[in-house]
Amino acid sequence: MIWFSNYTLTDILPLTKNNMVEHLGIEIIEIGSDFLKGKMPVDHRTVQPMNILHGGASVALAETLGSIAAVLTVDASKYSCVGMEINANHLRPVSSGYVYATARPVHVGKKSQVWSIDIVNEEGKMVCISRITMAVIEKPF
């Protein structure tokens, strides 16, 4: 297990309230030994004018999963994890339903982390692949 503690979905819930995560309807749905999964609706909040999933919404979903996953690997009383770089390849349009994202670690170091996030549609077909680099910084005391 890569997590700092034995987290549950209930433990993660506060990280998704009163911020953009809640506004976009993103939900964390599963935490495994080395992955974090979430879902996001494809609706009026997340589509672009052509009524397909907005690339920025996909990136917001990827950054949400990667950022939360990164935070769960460190002692949050001593460290924060902040995004340094994110990229995404948009592979398939989605016009309704939900998309599902899975974040898995590529590198979890003391000063930086890299996460790969796969986003799929309801049929399990790849919609977007993203990678985020996180800096692990000490909290000021």
pLDDT for 95-135, tens place per residue?
999 999 999 999 999 999 999 999 999 999 999 999 999 99
User: What pLDDT is stored for residue 65 in this prediction?
Assistant: 98
| Whether residue 63 lies in the annotated active site | yes
Query: 141 pLDDT band (50/70/90 cuts)?
Result: low
CATH 1.10.1050.10, applies to 9-138: no
pLDDT tens across 8-32, in order?
999 999 999 999 999 999 999 999 9
Residue 47 has pLDDT above 70, yes or no: yes
User: What pLDDT is stored for residue 140 in this prediction?
Assistant: 83
Tokens 């977007």 belong to residue: 128
Instruction: List, edge to edge, every strand of the sheet that includes 112-120.
Output: 27-31, 36-41, 98-108, 112-120, 126-138, 79-90
User: What pLDDT is stored for residue 37 in this prediction?
Assistant: 98
Find the catalytic residue in 27, 30, 63, 123. 63
pLDDT tens across 51-80, in order?
999 999 999 999 999 999 999 999 999 999
Close Cβ partners of 62 (under 8 Å, ≥ 6 residues apart): 86, 88, 101, 103, 117, 119, 128, 130, 132
Q: What is the pTM of this model?
A: 0.96
